[in-house]
Amino acid sequence: MEFYASLTINRCHFDRLCEVWAKHHPQSGFPFPRAIVSPLFARNGILQRLYGHHKQCKVIFDSGGFHIQQGRLTLQSASHELRRVYEENQWAHRFTLPDAPIISVDSRKVINRKLASTRSQYREFPEGLPSVLQRKFLPVVHGTTSKEVYRSAWEARIVGSKCLGFGGFSTSGPNAGVNSFTRASLQLFVEFTALCKKWKLDSHAFGIGGPASIAVLHYTPVKTFDSAGWLRTAAYGNVYLPYVGAVNITGAASSRRFVTRREFRQLLKATKHACVFCDNLTLLTQSWLHRALHNYCTLTAAMRELDSSPAEQTLEKLHRFNKRFAAYLEFVLEAQSSWMRANLGIAGEF
Q: Is 24:277 a contact under the CB 8 Å cutoff?
A: yes
- Host H or E run for residue 61: strand 58-61
- Which residues of the chain carry a pLDDT beneath 70? 170-179, 343-350
* Element holding 48 (H helix, E strand): helix 46-52
Q: According to the model, what pLDDT value does residue 196 have?
A: 95
Whether pTM exceeds 0.75: yes
- Rounded distance, CA 103 to CA 115, Å? 12
Domains and CATH numbers, the chain: 2-227 (3.20.20.105), 238-308 (no CATH)
Q: Residue 37 in contact with residue 14, Cβ under 8 Å? A: no
pLDDT of residue 206: 94
267-299: burial string, b at 16+ Cβ within 10 Å, e else: bbeebebebebbeeeeebbebbbbbbbbbbbbb
Residue 94 phi, psi dihedral angles, 5° rounding:
-145, 155
- Are 147 and 346 spatial neighbours (Cβ–Cβ below 8 Å)? yes
Residue type, 173: G
- The pLDDT value recorded for residue 64 is 87
pLDDT of residue 105: 87
Q: 326: burial class by Cβ within 10 Å (0-12, 13-18, 19+)?
A: buried
Can you say whether the dihedral through the CA atoms of 37, 148, 156, 184 is positive or negative? positive
Distances (CA, A) of 71 to 39, 100, 333, 342: 17, 11, 36, 40
Please, are residues 207 and 226 in contact by the beta-carbon 8 Å criterion? yes
The pLDDT, as a whole number, for residue 174 is 57
